[in-house]
Amino acid sequence: MTKRSYEIDQMISAKAIAARVEDLAREITAHYEGTEKLVVVGLLRGSFIFIADLVREIGLPVEVDFLEASSYGDAMQSSREVRILKDLRGEVAGRDVLVVEDIVDTGFTLSHVTALLRSRGPKRLEVCALLDKPSRREVDMKATWTGFTIPDEFVVGYGIDFAQSNRNLPYIGKVRFTEDT
């Protein structure tokens, strides 16, 4: 009987991530300069580590809220059906909003979420994504700020999971599947 297992090869180091988060925070701070309070909306669950590091570096008053959307479940491929599992607690109407996403892949989830939030009338709405996989894009969706552009690889770490595992890795790793006999 063949058993499928996997190994993880480091793709982006913790040090490179930390440096890029600082750069992104500087750009975001400059963009939203003068805002009364920036509402930072983290898309759960994959963005939780990224959002925590990012908001600590943003030099503005921030309010953090979370929205959970899913189009993957425990699968490796998007179902293209986006479900909102947890909505925001606060209001975004008339406010400056920054959506923080772990990875822009097909674009379905982010497109759905940004349309939902725009319908609620924010003053400004921008997106910051840690990772971008443009080769997989099926919906015309692009983040305002991107940490890293990556090839079409299945990745884990720094909050990103595979079947709820490996979120705690301090780096982004590429999953390499192996067949055990």
- Tell me the three state secondary structure of residue 66: strand
State the Cα–Cα distance between residues 122 and 95, nearest whole angstrom: 5
What's phi and psi for 46, nearest 5 deg? -60, -20
- The strand ranges marked E within 45-123 are 62-70, 83-86, 96-104
Residue 145 parent element (H or E)? strand 145-149
Task: Check if 105 is active-site.
Answer: yes
State the Cα–Cα distance between residues 64 and 106, nearest whole angstrom: 26
Q: Are 127 and 111 in contact (CB under 8 A)?
A: no
Catalytic residue among 105, 132, 152, 180: 105
Q: Are 66 and 124 in contact (CB under 8 A)?
A: no
State the Cα–Cα distance between residues 19 and 125, nearest whole angstrom: 24
Q: Are 104 and 141 in contact (CB under 8 A)?
A: yes
Active centre residues (catalytic)? 105
